[in-house]
A and B are shown apart, each in its own frame.
Chain A
């Protein structure tokens, strides 16, 4: 029997994309308990809503996170539209969803690259990020930005995607499919990768449900929940949407789910771009949110369900804006999944919840 000791992990650690600190209580090589600690990059963005008016805050919202930037601006705008009772044109809904799914693809490919890096597969990492570059180029052409797009506004979107650009979307996405399938093949079938991920960091289905986990992390533990299946906005027009689930509950399952979601997103973009209606892309929004009005909204970000809450006070500044991001929810599940794992697997498990600490702390 070894002696209990505490290993501090993070906030600076090669595998962590963002600052998260864990106190790992270990005995021999086994983690008995992991206590998460965040709070290194708190920026007070929820407070900033009282200083920037509700139109300006779209740009603040999308700077909450660099990877789910589009999702945050979309979720925020939808919340304000609910708050003020604004109905946006159908075409704007479609455009938002197309961009949102595109950013899901780029986020998941980025994550796959990070995962490859975490278990030490350098060339796989580079191939992933090479593919992601194609998606960023699509963003650059249609929105004018590569990471932060600034195309969403309360009441619609600023820019339209014309027919030729939609065709280019589909062309590029078809083009990466072949290379992508080779990469996924390496992830899912390479023995060295399997050895590092199979049966590691198990979070049982009951735990995932009881802890209210969200996103691919939960779906890998067979929790049948994806905000997209509620059919908000253009998601309601999809002919069929089934969340991608896995019963394995381990790191391998999380990789599997994310890998399959990229293909699913490509299909969604293909379907929506084929039936996108013509028309306006924005409606004018006048006035301010009424005094005491409240609204909430949920949106499926690449990392999972994100909850937005807004409260108006009759001025153009909001009284309170709340964004509950997927990672803050998943931290509890991560702490549970870490129990009983090897110290060497900690980085892999932490990474598979796809932590986005900047989101969590805002």
Chain B
């Protein structure tokens, strides 16, 4: 037992570089996997809204009407759950923290309406949608075209609803098929093909 057990360490640190950095002149390098902020790749986003549903703090809002995806970086807890549930892998968690601000602003991204109708256009012969690589503004004409449709729909509400019901069934059927075992799914599919 003796006194001054920390002597070696304390004197040693006189001649070492300081452990701290001169923030904000110097900043610590951020490692590659750091959870800093979410970024969205609007070219692949399909506005499915899963990220909105899964977010534990409800900081993500997906607005299908205006084709916007927005997040509140001040509510985000960087858990990364949205990144893992995204079916299109549009979201990514990147280094770089959101800077402090005097107002709690939102980060808004407009999703161009291209990728979505690509499949549907074939199936349902939809009016010409905005092209894939055109910016979001071009969505406007497509929108107005859509506006005209419901009027027609209203007239034949009964009839239209029937078809929509069928279409819904189609989509749900496919989803359910996927949940079944391979053999049974194959059987139904074969039956479907024959039917067409």
Asked if A and B form a direct contact in the complex, defined as CB atoms under 8 angstroms apart, the reply is yes
Interface SS of B by simple majority: loop
Q: How far is the CA of A351 from the CA of B1 in the complex (A)?
A: 25
Question: Interface segment, B41-49, B77-85, B108-116?
Answer: B77-85
Interface 0/1 of A81-108, CB less than 8 Å to B? 0000000000000000000000000000
Contact of B78 among A52, A133, A141, A150 (CB under 8 A): A150
Range class of the A interface residue count:
20 to 34
Q: A52-B56, A59-B79 are in contact. Are A127 and B9 (CB under 8 A)?
A: yes
B54, A183: Cβ atoms under 8 Å? no
In Å, the complex CA distance between A59 and B58 comes to 13
| Option from A57, A59, A60, A141 in Cβ contact (under 8 Å) with B33 | A141
> Considering the chains assembled together, what is the distance between the CA atoms of A130 and B5 in angstroms?
17
Tell me if A144 and B19 are in contact (CB < 8 A).
Answer: no
Residue numbers in A under 8 Å from B171 (CB-CB): none
Bound complex: CA A191 to CA B1 (Å): 7
B22 at the interface (CB under 8 A from A): no
Judge if B195 is at the interface, Cβ distance under 8 Å: no
Chain A, residue nearest B93 (CB): A144
Q: By the criterion CB–CB under 8 Å, are B81 and A56 in contact?
A: yes
Task: Say yes or no: A59 contacts B56, CB within 8 Å.
Answer: yes
Measured CA separation A55–B53 after assembly (Å): 12
Contact with A along B1-28 (1 / 0, CB 8 A): 1111110111000000001000000000
Complex-state Cα separation, A184 to B5, whole angstroms:
9
Any chain A CB within 8 A of the CB of B138?
A: no
Q: 7 closest A-B pairs (Cβ-Cβ)?
A: A144-B35, A186-B5, A56-B56, A150-B79, A59-B79, A144-B33, A141-B31
- Residues of A that sit less than 8 Å from B by CB: 52, 55-57, 59-60, 63, 123-124, 127, 130, 133, 140-145, 148, 150, 153, 158-159, 179, 182-183, 185-186, 189-191
- Can you sample 8 A-B contacts with CB below 8 Å? A52-B56, A140-B34, A142-B33, A144-B35, A150-B77, A150-B79, A150-B81, A185-B5
